[in-house]
Chains A and B, each alone.
Chain A
Amino acid sequence: MATAPLIPGQKPRSNLEELLEGVWKQNPVFVMVLGMCPTLAVSVSAMNAMSMGLATAFVLVGSSLLVSLMRNLVPKEVRIATYILIIATFVTVVDYAIQAISLALYDALGAFIQLIVVNCIILGRAEAHASKNRPVKAVLNAIGMGAGFTIGLFALGAVREILGAGKLFGVSLFGPDFQPWVVMVLPPGGFFVLGAWLLLFNWLDSRKAAPAKPTESHAHV
């Protein structure tokens, strides 16, 4: 899969491109397949998935801004320590904020809030993008990535909640007689739904990439 170069300088990108990169072309869930641990674990309902996505997006934006602001100050030798410190700070802030907003949500997300610290999207963005770009671009890119992650999680959570509980955001869709698909709220359901979404994305991608070639099916013999 051809991906746009992440190293700046090769091709300066417009602000809009920075913003949209994470939403579609480099979507963390569907294209880069990063941060799968929270993606699979907390996407049992749309609400949990959205909250997790937004919490991650907040940490992403906050840490990208700080890393970008300090990018000329931080010696290369201590940069990882600095990034981790910054990321851990924002995770702690989010942790307190979610506890203050809703304890039920905090219990539902469990350890995965603290585990945002080790989400590879965030450290990856800090290392590959924020530390090499001006704050405006870094924040725009982080917003895009955060939005992409949130969309990805929501896509999983919505399907799993609709099939697994017959609801969306807790609102019943099919009435009280709905038969829940138990497997969807269990771990295998996460893999099934993620697989289905990846299939769809790759299928759309391959159709877009090769509209001229009608069928390849006879070529492989």
Chain B
Amino acid sequence: MAAAAPDGFAVTITINGEPRSLTIPPSTTLLDLLRERLDLTGAKKGCDQGQCGACTVLVNGRRVNSCLQLAVMNDGAEVTTIEGLGQPGSLHPLQEAFVAHDAFQCGYCTPGQICSAVGMMSEGHAKTEPEIRELMSGNLCRCGAYSNIVDAIEDVMGSAAVREAAE
């Protein structure tokens, strides 16, 4: 059995395609690792309790609350954060759609919303608007941009469906 003293555990986590080898204390969450150690502040801390969704990132392609993930437990994982989805000039279609639909105001829940929507689309269980609303409900938006967020997601899902039909 592998074990570690409280002060450090060596892990390698691939973040946005780049393997990062680090020694971290077991109490470090994936969110704090990203924000405080790796300067990837796109994942946001809104509650630190899994109750708002602002910290949502993709771990091995699945959306999770990074605030509730101990980083050590993600040794060997592939993590995609909002920074890895796209950058200005080469935005992911969902990032573009969020801008086009004004699907945010303060922008603080936005990276989590977008990562969550990317995760939701790859899960493939949301086909209708009520299903989108239900399956995005783990991402709170206090600015109240919900209907714009749903429009942005539908926009991209629509284009994806169109592309699939064309292929």
A, B assembled together: no
- By a beta-carbon cutoff of 8 Å, the part of chain A in contact with chain B is none
